[in-house]
Structure 1
Amino acid sequence: MSVEHNDPKAVVTGMWQALSDRDWQALAGFLADDCIYLDVPVGPAAAARGPEDIIKRLKIGLEPLAGYANFPGLMLHDGADVMYEHHEEWQWASGESALLKFVSVHQVRDGKVTLWKDYWDMGALSNHAPPSWLADFATADMSWIFDATGLA
């Protein structure tokens, strides 16, 4: 990881670049061992904890895509807290695509992301994904599920 450990914005920027590149090994380097990832539309009972399980969770949606890109937007921080407004474009090999608008909230401690919450519209994805998307998601490895109720 080649970011200034004392700069939460640089850590979050590096983390999102690694995700945009789908560089799972680099992404893991930005996440604390006890980091919680919470996809807010899904809820805290289906969060993921720790780099390995967070990456398992992210791969379910992103790894099968023919194209994926994160487009940077406004990033604000107050000490260890970083809010990032951005959007992603998902493209499937079958031709469907979706533009997803996000606000992501992060906490950074000692140069690592310790909490990552994504706020977005699930309908923006489900309305544009191929018909097989939900079925594929339903049969995916769910060993990553962590109940973060009361923790995030």
Structure 2
Amino acid sequence: MSAEDTVLGMWRALSARDWDQVKTHLAPDCIYADMPVGPAAAARGPEDIVKRLKIGLEVLAGYQNHDGLLVADGPNVMYEHSETWTWATGEVAVLRFVTVHEVVDDRITIWKDYWDMSALANFAPPNWLADFATADMSWVYDATDLI
């Protein structure tokens, strides 16, 4: 399987919120970092990465990834895409991302999302950020020296 196929397969699984399928695309020591927050609040390993993803995505009434430009250089894949987040209260946000992946042996080993967090805050319901205060944060991993 190519690095591109691995990345696109993971994003298809994520768009479907098929958490078990997402995990199959991640290496056991994969690091996921939301770069607006920084690598000090990364997640490591499929289980913790899915815990992290669920905080933002599981509560949504709708979530969809939209394909965009994908550029690969060996194991490194850059993916420009967007996501539509829809809350049960009717708010909708279209978020634009550039994601950098490293793929080794058909598994993602590094996943870094670059996006504008203020765009999300502008469209999310007022309680969205407050909900993070009560979320399970056991996934937090400091990857500062690794990415």
So what's the TM-score if we normalise by structure 1?
0.96
Q: How large is the RMSD of aligned CA atoms in angstroms? A: 0.4
Q: Does residue 1:114 correspond to 2:109, yes or no? A: yes
Q: Does residue 1:60 correspond to 2:69, yes or no? A: no
d(CA) in 2 for partners of 1:87, 1:69: 8
Q: Secondary structure at the match of 2:21?
A: helix
- Aligned residue type for 1:9: E
- Aligned residue type for 1:24: W
Residue 11 of structure 1: how far off its partner (Å) = 0.2
Q: For 1:127, which of 109, 122, 130 is the aligned residue?
A: 122
Q: For 1:72, which of 47, 67, 71 is the aligned residue?
A: 67
Q: For 1:96, which of 86, 91, 100 is the aligned residue?
A: 91
Aligned to 2:6: 11
Q: Which runs of 5+ in 2 are unaligned?
A: none
Q: For 2:41, which of 27, 41, 46 is the aligned residue?
A: 46
Residue 138 of structure 1: how far off its partner (Å) = 1.5
Q: Which runs of 5+ in 1 are unaligned?
A: none
Q: Does residue 1:143 correspond to 2:132, yes or no? A: no
User: What whole-Å deviation, never above 9, does each CA across 1:4-60 have from its counterpart, x for those lacking one?
Assistant: 2xx000000000000000000000000000000000000111000000000000000
Aligned to 2:16: 21
Residue 137 of structure 1: how far off its partner (Å) = 1.2
d(CA) in 1 for partners of 2:92, 2:132: 17
d(CA) in 2 for partners of 1:11, 1:123: 30
Q: Secondary structure at the match of 1:117?
A: strand
- Aligned residue type for 2:102: Q
d(CA) in 2 for partners of 1:118, 1:105: 7
d(CA) in 2 for partners of 1:76, 1:44: 23
Which aligned runs of 4 or more in structure 1 are off by greater than 4 angstroms?
none
